């Protein structure tokens, strides 16, 4: 059951990290505002759901987020690009704050009541006396569907071929007569639309509030670093890994002392650290993993380059 | 008289504060192979990059009489310029076939060349059709990058050091190939460091030193001018 929850969460992370890693490897921009688009997706979907219900929002909200993302690239990043990478980085960093403030201005500081639609609210099946909600199944379906669509787009179409080539050598692709600036805009729009979609289906499963971008943003960076900057496959593996680590560890109640006991080391009794349980450590684990990866394998699980 | 394919006049280019090109001039007529010679770092590649819109430059660059300076690289490519950079820029993870297909600028247009022409010219590429470009040998990569450029149906090709690091036999093949391409009406600006194929296949030569043209003439002129060769070319 934890495994299924972990995979669901992992797939959601992958929807975020895939866009981030595509944008990074193509344009060299580490988009600090990526999770803000996730938040926008959730809020737009909420707003639309209060007017016409959940289903139109599922389709429309990611499209709006993607359009906003494309506009940000076209009118913001492209200008910042002339002043170098630091300017771009600061731009996305600032954008994250702007989005958060704007969201608070419009929807307030407290969480909005964005709910799972009634028809998806219920139990899909029961395993070992734990219920697996229909909505989790729905999230998996959407994520896997997106994944397959993304894969098909990248490997089976001409535009996908151009994107793949531009990942490594954008200058050459442009010299071959392809409008690379437009491709950049499309990838940025597409990546942010994916983040938006993740927000639409994640916002009601978890919580829709102004802090959600910051909460998920750092995890997404962990995913991208662990998977290897610029590697889609790595991002996929790392997403599932971290999704599972987080859900499993919440369910484990063994303490640090027990872990060390397993490898035959007994820690002094009474130490605060030794009495921490894995559950208490759960939020830190992904970061520990990231630090470990950075020390032992700086290019990530499947990263091609060292950046 | 018809307008030259490519005309460069008083071209200046800068990398940051350093001034790399000091008023370069040259022209390539239609159906001509012109060689731009010189040692490393004298600005030959920068000249090609300036034509391609990849470095900031001032001056005058005309393609078939049309001013192209300041345009974007993809626009210049679409106006008919093909560019083969020095590092060949093969997409290493994509197959030979995918590399070739990327040369096509517009999927709907029908150009002078299609993929079967390329395979006919270089059967080796057909054999390795589904191999990633990154594992090809240097000679095969050079052929692939030339063919990829042809797939885009250019009127002018600029090739940066195609013979660099290749075995003499392959160098000869590259020379034959370039003449073949020229015979089909395509102009070539060949950038070289060595005289290897330059003297045999070019109609005219320019010699570059310190960011400007120091000599222009026919292969015979250059052969007879030992002083200029000693000063600007030989090591």
CATH number of the domain that A49 lies in? 1.10.3470
Once rounded to an integer, what is the mean pLDDT over residues A76-85? 87
**Structural tokens at position B145:** 């990058």
Are the C-beta atoms of A289 and A245 separated by less than 8 Å?
yes
Answer whether B134 touches A (CB < 8 Å). Answer: no
Residue in chain B lying closest to A179 (CA): B74
**Within-domain flag for A302:** no
**Residue B155 to residue B2: CA distance in whole angstroms:** 15
**Residue whose tokens read 């960076």:** A221
DSSP classification of residue B134:
G
Q: What local confidence, expressed as pLDDT, does residue A304 receive?
A: 60
The full 3-state SS of A70-91, as one line of letters, equals HHHHHHHHHHHHCCCHHHHHHH
Q: Which of B200, B112, B101, B7 is nearest to A176 (CA)?
A: B101
**Residue A8 to residue A14: CA distance in whole angstroms:** 10
Answer whether A154 touches B (CB < 8 Å). Answer: no
**Residue B198 to residue B201: CA distance in whole angstroms:** 6
Predicted confidence (pLDDT) at residue A307 exceeds the cutoff of 80: no
**Structural domain for A72, as ranges:** 2-296
Answer whether A178 touches B (CB < 8 Å). Answer: yes
Q: What percent of chain A has pLDDT over 90?
A: 37
pTM of the model: 0.84
User: B86-122 burial, b for 16+ CB within 10 Å, e for fewer?
Assistant: eebbbbeebebbbbbbbbbbeeeeeeebebeebbebb
* Residue numbers in A near B78 (CB within 8 A): 177
Residue in chain B lying closest to A178 (CA): B74
Distance from CA of A190 to the nearest CA of B (A): 21
pLDDT digits (tens, 9 = 90+) for A100-117: 999 999 998 888 888 887
Which of these ranges, A76-80, A168-172, A234-238, B109-113, has the smallest mean pLDDT? B109-113
Answer whether A207 touches B (CB < 8 Å). Answer: no
**Residue B17 to residue A302: CA distance in whole angstroms:** 39
Contact A174 B83 (CB under 8 A): no
**Within-domain flag for A303:** no
DSSP element (H, E) containing B121? helix B115-121
User: Residue B52: which of A162, A175, A178 has the nearest Cβ?
Assistant: A175
Task: Mutate one of A82, A162, A170, A177 to test the B interface: name it (highest B CB count within 10 A).
Answer: A177
Listing DSSP states for chain A in one string gives -HHHHHHHHHHHHHHHHHHHHHHHHHH----TTHHHHHHHHHHHHHHHHHHH-HHHHHHHHHHHHHHHHHHHIIIIIHHHHTT-HHHHHHHHHHHHHHHHHHHHHHH-SSPP-----GGG-SEEEEETTEEEEHHHHHHHHHHHHHHHHHHHHHHHSHHHHHHHHHHH-HHHHHHTT--HHHHHHHHHHHHHHHHHHHHHHHHTTS--STTHHHHHHHHHHHHHHHH-TT-HHHHHHHHHHHHHHHHHHHH---BHHHHHHHTT--PPTT-HHHH-BHHHHTTTHHHHHHHHHHHH-TT-SS-SS--
Residues 6+ apart with CB under 8 A from A108: none
Contact A176 B105 (CB under 8 A): yes
Contact B74 A171 (CB under 8 A): no
| Average pLDDT, consecutive stretches of 10 residues, N- to C-terminus, chain B (235 residues) | 86 90 94 94 94 93 94 95 93 94 86 88 92 93 94 95 90 92 94 88 94 93 89 81
Contact A165 B85 (CB under 8 A): no
**Within-domain flag for A306:** no
Q: What local confidence, expressed as pLDDT, does residue A306 receive?
A: 42
**Residue A275 to residue A270: CA distance in whole angstroms:** 7
- Going by pLDDT thresholds of 50, 70 and 90, the confidence category of residue A249 is confident
* Residue numbers in B near A158 (CB within 8 A): 101, 107
Residue in chain A lying closest to B91 (CA): A165
Residue in chain A lying closest to B89 (CA): A172
Task: Give the residue with greater pLDDT, A10 vs A126.
Answer: A10
List domains and CATH numbers for chain B. 1-80+155-235 (3.40.50.300), 88-151 (no CATH)
**Structural tokens at position A59:** 């389709």
**Residue A78 to residue A124: CA distance in whole angstroms:** 46
DSSP element (H, E) containing B82? strand B81-84
Q: What local confidence, expressed as pLDDT, does residue A269 receive?
A: 66
* Residue numbers in A near B159 (CB within 8 A): none
Predicted confidence (pLDDT) at residue A292 exceeds the cutoff of 90: no
User: Residue A169: which of B77, B91, B105 has the nearest Cβ?
Assistant: B91
Are the C-beta atoms of A9 and A245 separated by less than 8 Å?
no
**Residue A89 to residue A33: CA distance in whole angstroms:** 10
Distance from CA of B212 to the nearest CA of A (A): 25
Residue in chain B lying closest to A165 (CA): B91
Tally the residues of chain A. 307
- Going by pLDDT thresholds of 50, 70 and 90, the confidence category of residue A267 is low
Q: What local confidence, expressed as pLDDT, does residue A84 receive?
A: 83
Q: Which of B70, B89, B48, B66 is nearest to B189 (CA)?
A: B48
Q: What local confidence, expressed as pLDDT, does residue A198 receive?
A: 94
Task: Mutate one of B45, B48, B89 to test the A interface: name it (highest A CB count within 10 A).
Answer: B89
**Residue A163 to residue B102: CA distance in whole angstroms:** 10
Q: What local confidence, expressed as pLDDT, does residue A253 receive?
A: 66
**Residue A31 to residue A38: CA distance in whole angstroms:** 12
Are the C-beta atoms of B58 and B11 separated by less than 8 Å?
yes
Interstrand relation of B66-67 and B57-63 (parallel, antiparallel or unpaired): antiparallel
Vertex B188 angle, CA B185 and B191, to 5°:
170
Q: What local confidence, expressed as pLDDT, does residue A119 receive?
A: 77
**Structural tokens at position A223:** 């995913």
**Within-domain flag for A126:** yes
Q: Which of B185, B187, B154, B190 is nearest to B174 (CA)?
A: B190
Contact B91 A164 (CB under 8 A): yes
**Structural tokens at position B176:** 């034959």
Based on the structure, what is the number of domains in chain A?
1
Answer whether A162 touches B (CB < 8 Å). Answer: yes
User: Residue B94: which of A165, A171, A174 has the nearest Cβ?
Assistant: A165
Once rounded to an integer, what is the mean pLDDT over residues A230-253? 83
Answer whether A171 touches B (CB < 8 Å). Answer: yes
**Residue B180 to residue A184: CA distance in whole angstroms:** 37
Answer whether B71 touches A (CB < 8 Å). Answer: no
**Residue A41 to residue A199: CA distance in whole angstroms:** 5
Once rounded to an integer, what is the mean pLDDT over residues A233-255? 83
Q: What local confidence, expressed as pLDDT, does residue A177 receive?
A: 95
**Residue A238 to residue A241: CA distance in whole angstroms:** 5
Answer whether A117 touches B (CB < 8 Å). Answer: no
**Residue A196 to residue A188: CA distance in whole angstroms:** 12
Task: Give the residue with greater pLDDT, A112 vs A277.
Answer: A112
**Within-domain flag for A305:** no
pLDDT digits (tens, 9 = 90+) for A47-61: 988 888 888 889 999
Tally the residues of chain B. 235
Residue in chain A lying closest to B148 (CA): A176
**Residue B132 to residue A10: CA distance in whole angstroms:** 31
Predicted confidence (pLDDT) at residue A248 exceeds the cutoff of 70: yes
């Amino acid at each position: 059951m934890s495994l299924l929850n972990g995979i669901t969460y992992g797939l959601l992370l992958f929807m975020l990290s895939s866009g981030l890693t595509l944008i990074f490897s193509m344009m060299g921009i580490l988009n600090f505002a990526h999770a803000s688009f996730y938040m926008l997706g959730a809020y737009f979907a909420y707003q639309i759901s209060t007017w016409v219900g959940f289903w139109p929002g599922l389709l429309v909200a990611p499209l709006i987020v993607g359009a906003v993302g494309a506009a940000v690239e076209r009118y913001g990043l492209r200008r910042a690009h002339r002043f170098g990478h630091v300017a771009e980085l600061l731009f996305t960093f600032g954008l994250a704050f702007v989005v958060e403030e704007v969201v608070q201005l419009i929807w307030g500081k407290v969480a909005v009541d964005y709910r799972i639609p009634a028809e998806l609210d219920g139990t899909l099946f029961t395993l070992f006396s734990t219920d697996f909600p229909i909505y989790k199944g729905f999230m998996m379906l959407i994520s896997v569907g997106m994944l397959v669509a993304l894969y098909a787009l990248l490997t089976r179409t001409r535009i996908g071929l151009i994107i793949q080539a531009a990942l490594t050598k954008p200058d050459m692709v442009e010299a071959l007569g392809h409008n690379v600036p437009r491709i950049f805009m499309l990838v940025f729009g597409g990546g942010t639309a994916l983040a938006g979609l993740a927000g639409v289906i994640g916002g009601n499963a978890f919580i829709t509030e102004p802090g959600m971008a910051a909460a998920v943003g750092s995890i997404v960076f962990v995913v991208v670093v662990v998977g290897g900057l610029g590697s889609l496959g790595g991002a996929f593996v790392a997403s599932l890994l971290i999704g599972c680590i987080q859900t499993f560890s919440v369910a484990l109640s063994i303490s640090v002392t027990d872990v060390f006991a397993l490898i035959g080391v007994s820690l002094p009794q009474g130490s605060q650290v030794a009495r921490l349980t894995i559950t208490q450590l759960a939020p830190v684990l992904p970061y520990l993993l990231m630090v470990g990866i950075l020390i032992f394998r700086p290019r990530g699980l499947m990263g091609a380059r060292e950046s | 008289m018809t307008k030259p394919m490519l005309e460069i006049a008083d071209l200046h280019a800068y990398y940051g504060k350093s001034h790399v090109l000091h008023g370069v001039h040259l022209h390539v007529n239609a159906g001509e192979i012109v060689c731009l010679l010189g040692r490393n770092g004298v600005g030959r590649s920068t000249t090609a990059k300036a034509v391609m819109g990849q470095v900031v430059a001032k001056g005058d660059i005309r393609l078939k009489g049309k001013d192209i300076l300041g345009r974007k690289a993809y626009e210049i490519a679409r106006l008919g310029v093909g560019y083969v950079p020095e590092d060949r820029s093969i997409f290493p993870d994509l197959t030979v076939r995918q590399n070739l297909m990327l040369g096509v600028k517009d999927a709907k247009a029908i150009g002078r060349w299609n993929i079967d022409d390329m395979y006919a010219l270089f059967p080796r590429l057909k054999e390795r059709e589904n191999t990633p470009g990154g594992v090809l040998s240097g000679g095969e990569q050079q052929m692939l990058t030339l063919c990829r450029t042809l797939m885009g149906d250019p009127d002018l090709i600029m090739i940066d050091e195609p013979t660099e690091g290749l075995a003499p036999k392959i160098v000869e093949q590259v020379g034959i190939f370039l003449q073949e391409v020229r015979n089909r009406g395509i102009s070539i600006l060949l950038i070289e460091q060595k005289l290897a194929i330059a003297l045999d296949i070019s109609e005219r030569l320019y010699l570059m030193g310190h960011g400007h043209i120091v000599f222009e003439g026919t292969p015979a002129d250059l052969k007879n001018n030992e002083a200029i060769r000693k000063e600007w070319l030989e090591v």
